[in-house]
């Protein structure tokens, strides 16, 4: 299988230009992104850094979001996080709650130092697992003026507790850590990292709906791209180790900047957004600029690429309001 649009899962419209850019994070890892700009623009632009979903690359959903934002007058940077896609970092195909949060701030570094960007008008947008990273970055980086989390996962929660918190016990976590640490020993002995596999393929007949939902995006022409982890061999098996005992979102109720959390009503993952939003506004004196938007009838991957379902008008209004 090949991607539909010369390495991308979406077309580039005539009113938008795309440029490959590179920048580095605070750990010295070089990141690679696609910078989307409106062809017709004047003066300094408001800018948005976009990443996600977890295990996807900039040629997929984040690029689609960025391209749409550029068509609406923003400078938008879709980037590959550390260790995947065209970004640097060794070993490959591994994630980190710390470094992936830092990646958003590195994108802010880059955007806020461009001549065509107003550094006081920079926001971020995270999709799926990078929706959680975006909220974590917003809690840390005071330069971020507005944040959108779309169809978000809290990757630390799901790795530590399982889906729907069904494995939330010390014994369950111990068994998971025991297996992953045994794999560490094997990886070191073999000199290579075992891969977990991407989205299951072929799809079992009895697969739960959310697995079918992922398959329909990552394993078909709809969303497949060559560099995508989820479309191919997936993360390293041991990638989730640090997520088990390093929870993100601890200080989101101290976020003073604007936040819009968007999720599909029928998504298996909707509880992540509902709970994260509740935690964010609890005892937070700055709640007037926080909003939870639930899309009726939408499932998880509808907010990946379904332009008739993704509330781009609402996202545009949000960024226009708070990036001013």
Q: Which residue, 167, 164, 245, 230, is CA-closest to 199?
A: 230
Structure tokens at 120: 């006081």
In this prediction, residue 300 carries a pLDDT of 98
Structure tokens at 267: 């998504």
For CA atoms 118, 121, 127, 131, give the dihedral sign.
positive
Q: Does residue 204 belong to any structural domain of this protein?
A: no
Q: Does residue 215 belong to any structural domain of this protein?
A: no
Task: Determine the Cα–Cα distance for residues 186 and 132; give it in Å rounded to an integer.
Answer: 31
- Cross-strand partners of 261: 149, 292
pTM over 0.85: yes
- Domains held by the chain: number: 1
In this prediction, residue 287 carries a pLDDT of 98
- Cross-strand partners of 24: 30
Assign 316 a pLDDT band (cuts: 50, 70, 90).
Answer: very high
Task: Determine the Cα–Cα distance for residues 14 and 261; give it in Å rounded to an integer.
Answer: 30
Task: Determine the Cα–Cα distance for residues 252 and 187; give it in Å rounded to an integer.
Answer: 36
Q: Does residue 164 belong to any structural domain of this protein?
A: no
- Cross-strand partners of 50: 78, 125
At residue 68's C-alpha, the angle toward residues 291 and 263, to 5°, is 30
Q: Does residue 236 belong to any structural domain of this protein?
A: no
Assign 41 a pLDDT band (cuts: 50, 70, 90).
Answer: confident
Q: Does residue 221 belong to any structural domain of this protein?
A: no
Average pLDDT over residues 255-283: 98
Query: Which H, E and C letters describe the chain, residue by residue?
Result: CCCCECCECCCCCCCEEEEEEEEECCCCCEEEEEEEEECCCCCCEEEEEEECCCCCCCCCHHHHHHHHHHHCCCEEEEECCCCCCCCCCCCCCCCCHHHHHHHHHHHHHHHHCCCCEEEEEEEEEEECHHHHHHHHHHHHCCCCCEEEEECCCCHHHHHHHCHHHCCCCHHHHHHHHHHHHHHHHHHHHHCCCCECCCCCCCCCCCCCHHHHHHHHHHCCCCCCCCCCCCCCCCCEHHHHHHHHCCCCCCCHHHCCCEEEEEEECCCCCHHHHHHHHHHHHCCCCCCCCEEEEEECCCCCCHHHHCCCCCCHHHHHHHHHHHCC
In this prediction, residue 201 carries a pLDDT of 94
Assign 314 a pLDDT band (cuts: 50, 70, 90).
Answer: very high
Structure tokens at 136: 């974590």
Assign 140 a pLDDT band (cuts: 50, 70, 90).
Answer: very high
Average pLDDT over residues 122-127: 99
Q: Does residue 101 belong to any structural domain of this protein?
A: yes
Q: Which residue, 237, 215, 212, is CA-closest to 224?
A: 215
**Could you read off the pLDDT of 186-232 as tens digits, one per residue?**
999 999 999 999 999 999 999 999 999 999 999 999 999 999 999 99
Kind of pairing between the strands at 30-38 and 16-24: antiparallel
Q: Does residue 183 belong to any structural domain of this protein?
A: no
Task: Determine the Cα–Cα distance for residues 157 and 160; give it in Å rounded to an integer.
Answer: 5
In this prediction, residue 155 carries a pLDDT of 98
Assign 161 a pLDDT band (cuts: 50, 70, 90).
Answer: very high
For CA atoms 260, 249, 267, 94, give the dihedral sign.
positive
Average pLDDT over residues 233-258: 97
Average pLDDT over residues 78-87: 98
Average pLDDT over residues 123-132: 98
Task: Determine the Cα–Cα distance for residues 71 and 14; give it in Å rounded to an integer.
Answer: 9
Assign 17 a pLDDT band (cuts: 50, 70, 90).
Answer: very high
Expressed as residue numbers, the domain containing 266 is 16-154+248-322
Average pLDDT over residues 302-309: 98
What average pLDDT is seen over the chain?
A: 97
- Cross-strand partners of 153: none
In this prediction, residue 114 carries a pLDDT of 98
Q: Does residue 209 belong to any structural domain of this protein?
A: no
| CATH at 139 | 3.40.50.1820
């Amino acid at each position: 299988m090949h991607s539909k649009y010369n390495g991308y899962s979406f077309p580039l419209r005539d009113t938008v230009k795309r440029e490959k850019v590179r920048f580095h994070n605070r750990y010295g890892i070089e990141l690679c992104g696609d910078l989307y700009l409106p062809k017709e623009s004047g003066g300094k632009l408001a800018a948005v850094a976009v990443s996600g979903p977890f295990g996807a690359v900039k040629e997929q959903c984040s690029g689609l979001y960025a391209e749409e934002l550029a068509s609406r007058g923003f400078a938008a940077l879709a980037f590959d996080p550390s260790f995947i896609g065209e970004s640097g970092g060794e070993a490959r195909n591994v994630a980190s709650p710390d470094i992936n949060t830092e990646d958003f701030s590195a994108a802010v570094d880059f955007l806020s130092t461009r001549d065509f960007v107003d550094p006081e008008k920079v926001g971020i947008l995270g999709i799926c697992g990078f929706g959680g990273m975006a909220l974590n970055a917003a809690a840390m980086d005071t330069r971020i003026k507005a944040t959108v989390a779309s169809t978000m996962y809290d990757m630390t929660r799901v790795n530590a507790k399982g889906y729907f918190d069904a494995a939330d016990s010390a014994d369950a976590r111990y068994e998971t850590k025991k297996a992953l640490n045994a794999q560490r020993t094997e990886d070191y002995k073999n000199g290579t990292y075992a891969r977990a596999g991407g989205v299951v393929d072929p799809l079992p007949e009895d697969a739960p709906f959310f697995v079918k939902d992922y398959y329909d995006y990552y394993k078909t022409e709809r969303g497949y791209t060559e560099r995508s982890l989820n479309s191919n061999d997936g993360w390293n098996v041991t990638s989730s180790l640090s997520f088990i005992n390093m929870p993100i979102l601890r200080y989101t109720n101290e976020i003073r900047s604007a936040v819009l959390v968007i999720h599909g009503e029928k998504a298996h993952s909707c509880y992540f957004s509902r709970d994260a939003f509740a935690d964010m506004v609890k005892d937070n004196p700055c709640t007037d600029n926080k909003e939870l938007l639930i899309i009726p009838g939408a499932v998880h991957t509808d907010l990946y690429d379904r332009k008739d379902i993704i509330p781009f008008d609402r996202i545009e209004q949000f960024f226009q309001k708070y990036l001013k």
